[in-house]
Structure 1
Amino acid sequence: MAGSRGVVIAALFANGAIAILKFFGYLLTQSPSMLSETYHSISDTGNQVFLLVGIRYSKKESSRAHPFGYGKAQFFYSFLVSVLLFGIAGWESLKHGYEAIVHGGHALGGAVSALGYTFPGWYVNVVILLGAIGFETYALKKANTELVRQIREYEWSGYREAFRKTSDVTTLTAFTEDTIALLGAAIALVGVVLSELTGNEVYDAIGAVCIGLLLMGFAVALAWENKRLLLGESLPKDVEDRLRTVVKEHPGVVHVDAFRTVHVGPEEVLVTADISFDSDLGTEELDDDITQIEEKLRTEDDRVRHVYIEPEL
């Protein structure tokens, strides 16, 4: 959890500063790509705020109304990010780029004077976008470090399996958002430079359309990943089978009649099991066995936080 929070805070400061700089570049040159990138960075900044709210909310103590805690708050706020922020920002970027293509964009004008020199305003866009690429690379590195740690801890084969199996949507969202931010800044940079070199503003407008499609695609992908967790996904089959084996191999267990797992928060899992025990076991022995099984399950996988065992004799 601490790793996820650090990833989000790093991205928050980077994206907030970048959003202001990109908007300044847009005001100076009226570049459609820079406006799209401004929407992008604003949505990224809002994204981090929502994720921090989710992290803070998920730390609330469990209550009668929420006996397994508030861990799923992170799933909800991450889903909210995809619908309200990336969807809206993506649509606005796409619409603005389309209008620039159909009706014609503004020439990249404006000039900046500094230290006795005057240079074209589009230079500012190039400098801002190169700076954005630098900042986003730093944020992506932090998110990647946390994701790689999880890949190693849970012995996943790589990023693809991590995306399918991780319940840490905060890190997943930050990692994907930083990747998309890098791609968006690169697309905007290409659009701005091509428009200046060719004198044709359509390249800048096409860049805005591409950024919009990128954001909307990410919104759909992120919403889909959160859906599986909001609906109550179990642990992967191989992990569940391993936990079931831990129970089956415990002395005194005759048969595992039912075994279920479900995520109740990022890296927090509820396990329930119906177990047939040796009929010769006394009440105290049975109670000791149940306690030992619970400890074994938590040792086998540290995501197991809640265990409920129904004994059958």
Structure 2
Amino acid sequence: MEKKDLDWGNIGFTYMPTDMRYVADYKDGAWGEGALTADSNVVINECAGILQYCQECFEGLKAYTTEDGSIVTFRPDLNAERMMDSAARLEMPPFPKERFLEAVDAVVKANAAWVPPFGSGATLYLRPYMFASGPVIGVKPSDEYQFRLFATPVGPYFKGGAKPLTLCVSDFDRAAPHGTGHVKAGLNYAMSLYASVTAHAAGYDENVFLDPGTRTYVEETGGANFLFITKDGEVVTPKSDSILPSITRRSLVHVAEHYLGLKVTERPVKLAELSDFAECGLCGTAAVISPVGRIVDHGKEICFPSGMDEMGPVTRKLYETLTGIQMGTTRAPEGWIRKIV
């Protein structure tokens, strides 16, 4: 298939409308059939629950052109399951898993010309989202909802690609104890915007959010999970009930254990122990893994010696193995790759 005439190697992580998107409505206690549409606009009532009480959740996944020219997605079943969990926490009707997968397939097929070519460094980002579309006044769940899914080609999430990032420890909290930090709700990201803009204005790439209870443990950034490497090559990931369960992190843990033979530990990680680690990375669908060179804690600089100037050796192996699986150059575990075209 002929691809769109774009400078694939230089597109940013920005919205670019494609040909088709998917829409399904929930009314009278059931999801409608759903269909593709060329209309990128959303029309809702002025009193819609999303506008009044922020009833909304979303997902993020990618479609790739593999080495053999196929178009695939990576573990979309896990995105479907996580979105169902998010919906349940927000008193929204879960969108069925099989319907989710069918919607992903349909949108990717309809926008196949927008899937960047193999080797370009770009991907087709897919954004499923659901919101309360029915009017509601008074704090309560809506009776009507809409599920939508659009696609947009994107380049690297962080500018500079594999250049190590500099983060700062935030004075703000991303999520509340026993709140919604473990689900992918838009309100969590709205909470992080002020802190993110403040950090960028001060010259930092991202924030480090601490646990909201004691503010002594590392949780995540505004859009990615942490992954640390010890001086002995052990992979350590923070454990907390208010961290979003990252599909990329889960996949990297499997890669570390079963492909690279590394020891992996998931445990609470204290801010005070960060200087003991050799490498640090941020992982998520958008970024895959972005290396972190240093973290600044109110003037105190914490450096990761094996990743100060470039991606550290263990982080690079993890990155290359996982992206190899996604792009078809490395054998994938059973069920990880869903071929669409």
TM-score range, shorter chain: under 0.3
* TM-score under structure 1 length normalisation: 0.25
TM-score (norm: length of structure 2): 0.24
- Name the structure where strand makes up a greater proportion of residues: 2
**Bigger proportion of residues as helix:** 1
